[in-house]
Amino acid sequence: MNPERLLSLTNRWFSTSVGLTLVIFLSSAICGFLLLPYADADSRFSGIWDAICNAAGFPVKSSATDIIQPEFKISGATLGLAELTSPSPQSIGRGATLAQQCAICHGPEGVSRADAPNLAGQYAQVIYKQLHDFRSGARTNATMGPFAAHMNDRDMIDLAAYYAYLPRIPSSRDSAEVPLIVASGAPTRGIAPCGSCHGTIERKIGSPWLNGQPAAYIEAQLRYFASGARRNDTNQQMRNIARALTDDEIKAVASYYAGTQ
Amino acid sequence: MTSEDHAASAVVAQKIERRWAAISILIVVFLTAMAAVAGIHQATMPQARVEIIDPEKIHLSGEFVETNLGSAIEPDGSVTVRAVGQQYSFTPQCILVPVDTKVTFRATSADVVHGLLIQQTNVNTMLVPGYVSEQVARFSRVGDHLMPCQEFCSVGHEGMWAMVKVIDRNEFMSLAASKRRVSCVE
Ligand SMILES: [Cu+2]
């Protein structure tokens, strides 16, 4: 048999099989792009092309009207800056000069003697975020607000680089005595272990290193998060946890991280 | 082997081939029909739209800012629930919905892939950063449901769950009348 005869419409086998394939193709297209999308009672298509494009998976930008905007400032700091992960020596040097104005509370080497947070060895993203939030008003504090108000982004990046560069204070506590709430959280109350974000097990960018922080400071911040007085944690990630903590747990966490337990 | 023997066995082979072809076509038809019936009647419809969103900016503006999360009443009387999943909690932590009402869940992730599953119901979807997951549900009974994260999302995963409380429709409406977004976070 010659090949031209085989692939010609006069060949009954050829025309039937091509015809059948076309019928299957068309009916599955109608089923998939029109019948099934419209069978969904909750589909809200503006027309036939809308239904086809949606079934084909063309992405649409999410839009919703009547959004309830917050009446407070939301933390808008961008933590992905490359300068925060690999700072230049100039940046660290400039940060050291700027840090002189912080030494009264945070200590000349970033270790406080006044229950202010210890900044030595803190993650650069954390320092940057908090300074940014103090300036924007997402976090309020009578002392820090005025300081941050006069800083530009460069100052904040340099300060973050300097404090991240300083050595952390060595831990003095006995690792055998980790409170249950720190070691394993309380999964039945929706509390993950502290270290799953704060760096000892895993680190979530923007979460501070807690070891060696003053107990009074940690306790106060947990209470602010629980009451909603502090809300510069993105999407309530810390408020959700702090609300679920008991009074005793807040105290245990604070004294554990302070190393006073 | 004679040529008659050969012809006879060819006939047998052809019969067997036809039988197997019929069986495989039946299997294809059965599976297609099953998918169609399940898709239409068992409410396992895939999401009708692919919606994209910038996961690094969801907390700043748009429908997933924290003050806009929770349950909202739509003009058509249905309820839309908006939620965000992140390491390691859902916001809001407690979701309030009315019974016997169409409820549209709209949720997304702020960081890694999470899962949203409401126990005792067929609500089950992944929360993928960059995409909005939407699923429609209707609760036929008043009661509480656990809503655990069903995708391992790193070491604190076991602590990630929320509560869905299904309450009387009138009670829900009176709560929603005073606030525009409702949740049962204390
Ligand atoms: Cu998760």
- Residue B161 Cα to ligand 1 midpoint, Å, equals 8
Domain A180-258 annotated CATH 1.10.760.10? yes
For residue B149, the chain A residue with the least C-alpha distance is A190
Q: Looking at beta carbons, which residues of chain A come within 8 Å of B186? A: 243
For residue A182, the chain B residue with the least C-alpha distance is B156
**Which one of B31, B49, B94 would you mutate to disrupt binding with A, by most A Cβ within 10 Å of its Cβ?**
B49
DSSP strand pairing (B124-127 vs B114-117): antiparallel
pLDDT tops 70 at residue A173: no
Model pLDDT for residues B1-26, shown as the tens digit of each residue: 567 778 888 899 999 999 999 999 99
Model pLDDT for residues A49-101, shown as the tens digit of each residue: 888 887 887 777 655 667 888 888 888 888 888 888 888 999 999 999 998 98
pLDDT tops 60 at residue B69: yes
Contact B130, B53 (CB under 8 A): yes
- Residue B152 Cα to ligand 1 midpoint, Å, equals 6
CB contact under 8 A, B45 and A241: no
Per-residue pLDDT, A161: 93
B-contacting residues in A 197-216 (Cβ below 8 Å): 197, 201-202, 204
C-alpha dihedral sign at A178, A179, A181, A186: positive
C-alpha dihedral sign at B17, B20, B21, B22: positive
Q: Does A76 contact B at CB distance below 8 Å?
A: yes
In this complex, the residue of B63, B92, B93 whose CB is nearest that of residue A62 is: B63
Distance between CA atoms of A165 and A89, rounded to whole angstroms? Answer: 10
Least Cα distance to A189 among A240, A250, A233, A238 occurs for: A240
Q: Which CATH number fits domain B66-178: 2.30.30.40, 1.10.8.60, 2.60.40.420, 3.40.50.1370?
A: 2.60.40.420
Q: Looking at beta carbons, which residues of chain A come within 8 Å of B179? A: none
The CA distance from A128 to the nearest CA of chain B, in Å, is: 17
DSSP, res B163: E
Q: What is the 3-state secondary structure (H, E, C) of chain A?
A: CCHHHHCCCCCHHHHHHHHHHHHHHHHHHHHHHHHHHHHCCCCCCCCHHHHHHHHCCCEEECCCCCCCCCCCCCCCCCCCCHHHHCCCHHHHHHHHHHHHHHHHHHCCCCCCCCCCCCCCCCCHHHHHHHHHHHHHCCCCCCCHHHHHHCCCHHHHHHHHHHHHHCCCCCCCCCHHHCCHHHHCCEHHHCECCCHHHHCCCCECCCCCCCCCCCHHHHHHHHHHHHHCCCCCCHHHHHHHHHHHCCHHHHHHHHHHHHCCC
Q: CA gyration radius for chain A?
A: 30
pLDDT tops 80 at residue A41: no
B-contacting residues in A 79-118 (Cβ below 8 Å): 80
- Homologous superfamily assigned to A82-165: Cytochrome c-like domain (1.10.760.10)
Report percent pLDDT > 90 for chain A: 43
CB contact under 8 A, A235 and B68: no
Across chain B, mean pLDDT equals: 89
Report percent pLDDT > 90 for chain B: 57
Higher pLDDT, A46 or A235: A235
ipTM for this prediction: 0.78
Model pLDDT for residues A134-165, shown as the tens digit of each residue: 999 999 988 899 989 989 999 999 999 999 99
For residue A193, the chain B residue with the least C-alpha distance is B156
CB contact under 8 A, A58 and B50: yes
pLDDT tops 70 at residue A108: yes
Per-residue pLDDT, A135: 92
In this complex, the residue of A43, A60, A240 whose CB is nearest that of residue B89 is: A240
Distance between CA atoms of B36 and A95, rounded to whole angstroms? Answer: 64
Q: Looking at beta carbons, which residues of chain B come within 8 Å of A69? A: 65, 67-68
